[in-house]
C-alpha cells in the first residue's frame, strides 16, 4: 500500500537533513497517515480510508458522506 492520503493526495517528499557542519544526507519526509474506519449512515456501511491529519479535518468539516461521494466511493 502506498503512502498517499486518499482524501488530500499528500505523499512523501525528498529533502536534505543538514547537520551543524553543513553535511547533507537525503531523507524522505512522509505524511502523517492514519488508517481509519468511517461509518456512512446514509448507506449503512463502513469504509476504511488511509488519511492524513489534514484529511481528517476535511472529513470533520464536510462530513464523510460528502467526501466519499467526491472520491467516488
Establish if 2 belongs to a structural domain: no
Q: What is the pLDDT of residue 9?
A: 95
63: in domain: yes
Asked if the structure places residue 6 within a domain, the reply is: no
Give the whole-angstrom CA distance, residue 52 versus residue 21.
Answer: 34
- 3 state SS of 68: helix
In a domain, 3, yes or no: no
Mean pLDDT score of the chain, rounded to an integer?
A: 94
- Measured between alpha carbons, how far is 73 from 46 in angstroms, rounded to an integer? 11
Find the domain containing 55 and state its range: 13-71
Q: pTM for this structure?
A: 0.81
CATH code: domain of residue 37: 2.30.170.40
pLDDT value at residue 70: 93
Q: Quote the number of domains for the chain.
A: 1
In a domain? residue 18: yes
User: What are the tens digits of pLDDT across the range 15-48?
Assistant: 999 999 999 999 999 999 999 999 999 899 999 9
Amino acid at each position: 500500500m502506498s503512502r498517499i492520503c486518499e482524501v488530500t493526495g499528500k505523499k512523501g517528499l525528498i529533502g536534505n537533513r543538514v547537520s551543524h557542519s553543513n553535511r547533507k544526507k537525503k531523507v524522505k519526509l512522509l505524511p502523517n497517515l492514519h488508517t481509519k474506519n468511517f461509518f456512512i449512515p446514509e448507506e449503512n456501511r463502513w469504509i476504511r480510508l488511509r488519511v492524513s491529519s489534514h484529511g481528517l479535518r476535511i472529513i470533520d468539516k464536510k462530513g464523510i458522506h460528502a467526501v466519499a461521494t467526491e472520491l467516488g466511493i
